[in-house]
Amino acid sequence: MLSEKVEQALNKQVRIEAESSQVYLAMASWAEVKGLEGVAAFMYMHSDEERMHMLKLVKYINERGGHATISDLVAPKTAYGSPKEMFELLFKHEVMVSQSINDLVEISLNEKDFSTHNFLQWYVAEQIEEEALARTILDKINLIGDDKGGLYLFDRDVKTLTVTPAATA
């Protein structure tokens, strides 16, 4: 059984994961209309992934005797000055999500909810991967600079980009 404090914190994370899905979806749409098909494909895929993260939380809350609530969402930004700006914002967003997961882990430990603490370890590992991937993409964008040919190649290759974090290597 979830404590009220843990349930509220998990429901806050449900909203954050849903908003993350919307952030990636908005970025996908922007990239698509800018002709960045690879970036759009990458973002659409990650939007789906973030939605699955949300659903995993919803199921967990309900299975543990709580009630997952679906709340309103903050609308994401829908236009960006450049792919670099978009990926910088994405990286900052992923850092914020990581902090939220860390706060949730702390709450689960303070409440002595070791089942939730164990459940959240998947999210901790996932956020290490998400931040590493966003950082790698930013590094590549910075290497490209204003080179249109480099952007073309990056766009072609980004949909297959993966990063293996040290924790799983």
User: How many C-beta atoms lie closer than 10 Å to residue 83's C-beta?
Assistant: 21
| CA-to-CA dists, residue 117 to 53, 66, 121, 122, angstroms | 16, 16, 7, 10
- Residue 168 pLDDT > 60, yes or no? no
Which pLDDT score is estimated for 160? 78
Is the pLDDT assigned to residue 77 strictly greater than 90? yes
Provide the number of structural domains found in the chain. Answer: 1
Report the helix count and the strand count for the chain, using DSSP H and E: 5, 0
Mean pLDDT of the chain, nearest integer: 94
| Whole-structure pTM value | 0.92
- What is the domain extent for residue 116? 4-158
Q: Is the pLDDT of residue 11 over 80?
A: yes
pLDDT tens-place string over residues 113-165: 999 999 999 999 999 999 999 999 999 999 998 888 999 899 988 977 765 65
169 in any annotated domain? no
Enumerate the known binding-site residues for Fe cation.
Answer: 17, 50, 53, 94, 127
Over residues 51-58, the mean pLDDT reads 98
Looking at the predicted structure, is the pLDDT value of residue 85 above 80? yes
Tell me, what DSSP letter sits at residue 129?
Answer: H
Q: Which CATH number goes with the domain that contains 82?
A: 1.20.1260.10
What letters, b where the CB count within 10 A reaches 16 and e where it falls short, cover 131-153?
A: bbbbeebeebbeebeeeeeebee
Is residue 32 in some structural domain? yes
In a domain, 168, yes or no: no
Q: Which residues are annotated as a binding site?
A: 17, 50, 53, 94, 127
Domain assignment of residue 63, yes or no: yes
Q: Is 60 a domain residue?
A: yes
Question: Smallest Cα–Cα separation from 86: which of 30, 163, 45?
Answer: 30
Mean pLDDT of 47-72: 97
Calpha distance 162→42 (Å, rounded): 10
DSSP state of 147: -
